[in-house]
C-alpha cells in the first residue's frame, strides 16, 4: 500500500486546512503557499495519484472537479484565472494526489516557467 499523502490527511481531517468548499466528491481549500492573491486547490475524495492515472470511469468526477473549480473561482471574485494540473515530477507535481490549482487575482505571465 502506498503511504498517505498530505492531501489524504487533509481529507481525513488529520491535519487542518482552510476549507473553501466541500461535497461528496471533492474538497477545496487554500494553498498553504499561495502563488497569487487567490490560490485554491480542488482535490477529489477518491485517491487518484495524478491525471495520468485517471481512468475512463473517472470522467464524470473529472468534469465535476473542473466545473466546481470554475464556480469557486467566480465565488472568490475572479473573472480571469488560471486552472493548472501539474502532472508528474518534471512538471512540478509535488503531492501525488490529483489536484487542480485555481490561481488568480494578479496578472499571470505566459508561458509559465
31 binds ligand 5GP (CB under 6 A): yes
In terms of CB distance, is 56 or 109 closer to ligand 5GP?
Answer: 109
Cα(19)–Cα(35) distance, integer angstroms: 17
Q: Reading across the β-sheet that carries 26-30, which strands appear in turn? A: 19-22, 26-30, 38-44, 100-104, 81-84
Residue 25 cell numbers, joined: 466528491
95 binds ligand 5GP (CB under 6 A): yes
Among 12, 33, 55, 79, binds ligand 5GP (CB under 6 A): 33
On the CB side of 64, how many CA atoms lie within 13 Å of its CA? 17
In terms of CB distance, is 66 or 95 closer to ligand 5GP?
Answer: 95
17 binds ligand 5GP (CB under 6 A): yes
Q: Of the listed pieces 23-31, 53-61, 62-70, 73-81, which binds ligand 5GP according to CB under 6 A?
A: 23-31
Set 39, 97, 99, 101: catalytic member:
99
**18, exposed or middle or buried, with CB in 10 Å at 0-12, 13-18, 19+?**
exposed
Chain residues binding ligand 5GP by CB under 6 A are 6, 17, 29-33, 41, 86, 92-95
Catalytic residue ranges: 99
Amino acid at each position: 500500500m502506498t503511504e498517505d499523502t498530505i492531501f489524504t490527511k487533509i481529507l481525513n481531517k488529520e491535519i487542518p486546512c482552510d476549507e473553501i468548499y466541500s461535497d461528496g466528491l471533492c474538497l477545496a481549500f487554500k494553498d498553504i503557499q499561495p502563488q497569487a492573491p487567490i490560490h485554491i486547490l480542488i482535490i477529489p475524495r477518491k485517491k487518484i495519484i495524478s491525471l495520468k492515472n485517471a481512468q475512463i470511469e473517472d470522467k464524470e468526477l473529472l468534469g465535476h472537479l473542473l466545473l466546481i473549480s470554475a464556480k469557486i473561482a467566480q465565488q472568490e471574485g475572479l473573472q480571469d484565472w488560471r486552472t493548472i494540473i501539474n502532472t508528474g515530477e518534471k512538471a512540478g507535481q509535488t503531492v501525488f494526489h490529483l489536484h487542480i490549482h485555481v490561481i488568480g487575482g494578479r496578472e499571470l505571465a505566459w508561458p509559465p516557467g
